[in-house]
Amino acid sequence: MTMINKILSILYKDFKIEMSQSHLFFSVALYVVSSIYIVYISFQPVGILNSEHWVSIFWIIILFSSISSVSKSFFQESSNRNYYYYYVLSPDELIFSKLIYNFIFILFVSFLTFAVFTFFLGNYIISLPFFFSLLFIGALSISNCLTLIAAVAHQVKNNSSLISILSFPVIIPIFLLLIKLSKVSSTEFSWILVQDDIYLLILLNIILVSLTKFLFGFLWRN
């Protein structure tokens, strides 16, 4: 099998497990809906919430829902399955399959959060195409960051609490950039205002993917 076929096989397995169990999907969906409803109640009467509040709370909810979802991508694997992977997959094939799976799931959570936010709190975003592109870049950035950290935590006696501890110093600068860029999307969009931050996000993603590819090989051999 080629590398692409192996990655697709792992993706198919992960999605099939999730569809059959649905624990992760329903737990994340419940967290998103309940959190947004609490925000909706807290900002009554209507008109107290402004665009800056909307954007900040939006990404905070995505942050915590992503941490809980990405941790499951490695911790759901049994030790016997890991031994099997060790003999049939290369480190790149396994880590990139997890990266893609987490990216797709986080992207889905992002659009779900946006839909529920719009339903309860209205839509403060003026430049929707730019904001949706931010959701794409944000999902990719979060997946790149958390997948590597989840792999590290998985090696330390499956200690999922390490994900929260290790991820925040790395992921907070990414979220600050995403919040800053999202505030621009709630006003009249101008590329001049965002180009430096967009380039910085792209650079961070390149660095994170490179680190993930390099470091996971050492983790895999151990």
pLDDT of residue 139: 92
Over its C-alpha atoms, the chain yields an Rg (Å, rounded) of 18
For the chain, the domain total comes to: 1
pLDDT of residue 113: 92
How much is the pLDDT for 22?
A: 65
Measured at the alpha carbon of residue 184, what is the angle toward residues 195 and 64, in degrees to the nearest 5?
A: 100
What pLDDT score does 58 carry? 92
Global pTM reads: 0.86
- Check residue 111 and give its pLDDT: 93
d(CA 50, CA 53): 5
**pLDDT, position 222:** 58
Residue 49, pLDDT score:
75
Q: Where in the sequence is the domain holding 77, given as residue range(s)?
A: 3-221
Q: Please give the pLDDT value at position 74.
A: 64
The whole-number pLDDT of residue 76 equals 61
The pLDDT value given to residue 82: 58
Amino acid at 130: F
Per-residue pLDDT of the chain (222 residues; tens, 9 = 90+): 677 887 788 777 777 776 776 677 788 888 899 999 988 888 876 667 788 888 989 999 998 888 877 766 665 655 555 555 665 677 777 788 888 888 998 999 999 999 998 998 888 888 888 899 999 999 999 888 888 887 777 666 555 566 767 777 888 888 889 998 888 887 777 777 788 888 888 898 888 888 888 877 776 665
Whole-angstrom distance, CA of residue 77 vs CA of residue 69: 14
